[in-house]
């Protein structure tokens, strides 16, 4: 599967993180990259844009990442939710996976980690 054709939504309250990650993804070959600044915006973007992958921060104002996962999965259960947070604690890891996230990337985020997470999940889905 051509993963670079996937529509990716970056959800992080940090303008720096969104810019750096967008630039890195586009250089890597991803050509459909969207952004959201908090959980509420992410949910709206999921309703309107139907991203294939959501890279979701946890610590955000208005609605944090953990609170947004369930609604994102309700909009489209096949949306691949990958947590991308500095707070990769046991508690957040377990909770996010229970709520429907497929993977967890500890910040600082690299494009390689994102690609690995997408490929691993798609492979697991293909095998199940």
Partner 1 sequence: MFSQYFGQYLLNQGLVSGDKLHQAILAQKETHVKLGVLAINQAYMTARQVEEVHQAQMTVDKRFGEIAVELGYITEVQVGELLSSQKNAHLLLGQALIDMDEFTYETFSQSLSSFKEAYSLTDDQFSSITNGNIETLVSSILLQNHLGGKQWLCDYVSLFAKNLVRFIDSNIRLEIGDGQNQSRCEWTFSQDILKDDLSKTVTIAGDENAMLHLASRYAQESIETPDEMMEASVGEFLNLHNGIFLVNLSNQGIELNLKPQVPARNIPSNSFPNTIKLNVIGTDTSFDLIISDLSDLVVHQS
Q: What residues make contact with partner 1 under the rule CB under 8 A?
A: 13-17, 19-20, 59-61, 85-91, 106-108
Q: How far is the CB of 111 from partner 1 (least distance, A)?
A: 15
Residue 6 or 59 with smaller CB distance to partner 1: 59
Residue 85 or 96 with smaller CB distance to partner 1: 85
Residue ranges of the alpha helices (H) in the chain? Answer: 15-28, 39-49, 65-75, 90-99, 111-127
Beta-carbon neighbour count of residue 73 at 10 Å? 17
Residue 66 or 79 with smaller CB distance to partner 1: 66
- Whether the Cβ atoms of residue 56 and residue 100 lie closer than 8 Å to each other: no
């Amino acid at each position: 599967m051509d993963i670079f054709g996937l529509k990716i939504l970056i959800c992080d309250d940090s303008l720096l993180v969104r810019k750096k990650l967008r630039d890195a993804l586009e250089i890597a070959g991803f050509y459909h990259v969207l952004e959201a600044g908090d959980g509420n915006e992410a949910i709206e973007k999921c309703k309107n844009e139907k991203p294939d992958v959501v890279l979701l921060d946890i610590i955000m104002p208005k609605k944090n990442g953990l609170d947004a996962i369930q609604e994102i999965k309700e909009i489209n259960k096949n949306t691949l939710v990958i947590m991308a947070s500095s707070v990769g604690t046991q508690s957040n890891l377990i909770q996010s996976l229970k709520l429907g996230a497929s993977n967890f990337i500890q910040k600082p985020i690299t494009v390689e980690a994102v690609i690995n997470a997408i490929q691993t999940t798609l492979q697991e889905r293909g095998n199940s």
